[in-house]
Amino acid sequence: MRGRNSPGFVHKGVSRLPDRALLLMAALIYIFLYAPILVLMVFSFNEARSTQVWEGFSTRWYVALWNDQSVLDAFYNSLIVGGTSTIVATAIGTLTALALTRYRFRGKSFADSTIYAATVMPEIVVGVSLLAFFVAVGFGLGLTTIIIAHVAFNISFVTIVVRARLSGMDESIEEAAQDLGANPVTTFLRVTLPLILPGVMAGALLAFTLSFDDFVITFFVAGVGSSTLPLKIYSMIKFGVSPVINALSTVILVATMILILGGSRFFMGKEDR
């Protein structure tokens, strides 16, 4: 039996110290990340215009948000841009990931490098280059140019996410389907796509989030009357932080959490089956 002073003896309290320190550090990090968001949500219900002094509960800023047509138009534009660019980028990115994973062709290494380079390229460089391109070809700036720009930078992110899903998939399943008489299109639609659907949906959600939240690239390629929500919020902040912005941020946050929780429950239910 080992004594207290023997080399192999470790006190239970001492062994738990690293675990407690890790939990404390994790708690502090979560507080640092989410405390400002919680404060923003609380002050969206403040009676006064002040964002620093609480003067009573009220929903007046949500009513003001609902009656602010310019904010609603910007939100509608963001939904159009985000939804359209997500659909197009997800389709192209999924097919690109399939080509890079399943086929060998000349220039594959260059294509690989290009996909990954696009994800780390500074947004200001992308925005300026796209603006120069649209001006050079005489394409008028508006919602269409914003959608094209968002598709351009979203394709890489979707490709990387879907490719990660494809790399862990057993190719013998596809080969078995083709041995049973399925052509490549049928194999993709009936076998490959259902198996990689979680990766496709993850790439689509990432693409929509990046598109909905983008400011820098959108700032360069947006035309008159095509303001998205980030651009609208930026123009509002120039005159001070309004509680309407707090209310808008709270609505977006709650909607995002509902989508995340709903998507998680949907995919967990499919995996349980």
- pLDDT, one tens digit per residue, over 217-253 is 999 998 887 888 888 888 877 766 678 888 888 888 8
What is the chain's mean pLDDT, rounded? 82
* Spatial distance between the Cα atoms of 86 and 90, rounded to a whole number of angstroms: 6
pLDDT at residue 12, rounded to an integer: 52
Indicate the range of 28-32, 101-105, 240-244, 255-259 predicted with least confidence: 240-244
pLDDT tens, 100-129? 888 777 877 888 888 888 888 888 998 999
For residues 126 and 257, the model is more confident at 126
* Spatial distance between the Cα atoms of 57 and 141, rounded to a whole number of angstroms: 43
Q: Determine the average pLDDT of the residues in 7-28.
A: 70
pLDDT band at 213 (very low <50, low <70, confident <90, very high): confident
pLDDT band at 178 (very low <50, low <70, confident <90, very high): confident
Residues 6+ apart with CB under 8 A from 119: 156, 157, 160
For residues 127 and 49, the model is more confident at 127
For residues 86 and 256, the model is more confident at 86
pLDDT band at 4 (very low <50, low <70, confident <90, very high): low
pLDDT band at 83 (very low <50, low <70, confident <90, very high): very high
pLDDT band at 36 (very low <50, low <70, confident <90, very high): confident
Q: Determine the average pLDDT of the residues in 153-166.
A: 90
Q: Determine the average pLDDT of the residues in 156-175.
A: 84
pLDDT at residue 266, rounded to an integer: 64
pLDDT band at 47 (very low <50, low <70, confident <90, very high): confident
Helices (H) then strands (E): counts for the chain: 12, 0
* Spatial distance between the Cα atoms of 180 and 174, rounded to a whole number of angstroms: 10
pLDDT at residue 151, rounded to an integer: 94
DSSP labels, 46-90 = BSSS-SSS---B--HHHHHHHH-HHHHHHHHHHHHHHHHHHHHHH
Q: Determine the average pLDDT of the residues in 138-147.
A: 90
* Spatial distance between the Cα atoms of 138 and 148, rounded to a whole number of angstroms: 15
* Spatial distance between the Cα atoms of 265 and 77, rounded to a whole number of angstroms: 29
Helix %, strand %, coil % of the chain (to 5): 75, 0, 20
Look at residue 175 and tell me whether its pLDDT is greater than 80.
Answer: no
Q: How large a percentage of the chain has pLDDT more than 90?
A: 22
pLDDT at residue 145, rounded to an integer: 92
Q: Determine the average pLDDT of the residues in 8-23.
A: 65
User: Hey, what domains does the chain have and what are their CATH numbers?
Assistant: 12-60 (no CATH), 69-272 (1.10.3720.10)
